[in-house]
Amino acid sequence: MLKRRIIPCLDIKDGRTVKGVNFINLIDAGDPVELAKVYAKQGADELVFLDITATIENRKALGALVERIAAEINIPFTVGGGIDTVYDVSILIKAGADKVTVNSSVVRRPGLISEIARQFGNQCIVVAIDTKLVDHEWIVVVDGGRTITELKTIDWARSIEDLGAGEILLTSMNNDGTKTGFSIDITREVSRNVNIPVIASGGAGSMEHFRDVFFNTSCSAALAASIFHFGEIDIRELKKYLKHNGIAIR
């Protein structure tokens, strides 16, 4: 049986970890490198670092921060924010990132997925899908949740797999930061419709929420932010809980 992964996510703004609700009302959550060290020690399987305003501020993801992170932790980590060329990816990989995640740039130019996959391999590219329920339909949103596209989430998920993505990071904007649980329905549907790993994101507020998303969908990992940043859930205790509930976990 495939073992599920637990992934803390660190949203970065102005060099600090931040967290909000529904992508807004951001508050400071600490130094990203120090948090990363704590999560690695607690047994996190991977980390994700997202420069959340890089796209709308027309900046590149934080290469210098990536070097600091790589020097301090020994678990895989993914970096995203403002990536729109293969060259951008090369800088981050050279700095120490294991994978990159792209979102808005590939919605606007899907061919970038294939370009990155050819250069660095499918395993290197994670395509993030931010999705929002609009008129009873899950729709892709970009620019940090600010722009609603015409793309249906399931169709886009299939397309990015065909283009060479190695993994999908699926975030429900409706659930993000609410601590009401992951969006089971869209996570289940995306997982059913692709053959690449899907990371569930948005809404984790308790250990039970992780149990539920693993029981009720075939996602390969679950990602959370504030519950880890503010010490509400310890990753070691979460893994014990999940194993006790019969979930194969790394």
Q: Give per-residue pLDDT as tens, 59-81.
A: 455 778 889 899 999 999 999 98
How many structural domains are present in the chain? 1
Say if 112 falls within a structural domain.
yes
pLDDT in tens, 171-203: 999 887 788 999 999 999 999 999 999 999 999
Domain that holds residue 144: 5-244
Q: Is residue 250 part of a domain?
A: no
Do the Cβ atoms of 242 and 211 come closer than 8 Å? yes
Classify residue 42: in a domain, yes or no.
yes
Question: What is the C-alpha separation between 89 and 165, in angstroms, rounded?
Answer: 14
- The C-alpha atoms of residue 104 and residue 81 are separated, in whole angstroms, by 9
- Report if residue 249 sits inside a domain: no
Q: What is the pLDDT of residue 58?
A: 46
Q: Residue 98 domain-assigned?
A: yes
Task: Give 23-27 contacts, CB < 8 A, sequence gap 24+.
Answer: 23/52, 23/130, 23/144, 23/145, 23/173, 23/176, 23/177, 24/145
The residues annotated as belonging to the active site are 11, 130
Asked whether residue 10 is assigned to any structural domain, the reply reads: yes
87: CATH: 3.20.20.70
Q: Is residue 144 part of a domain?
A: yes
Cα distance from N-terminal residue to C-terminal residue, the chain: 11
How far is 19 from 224, CA to CA, in rounded Å? 11
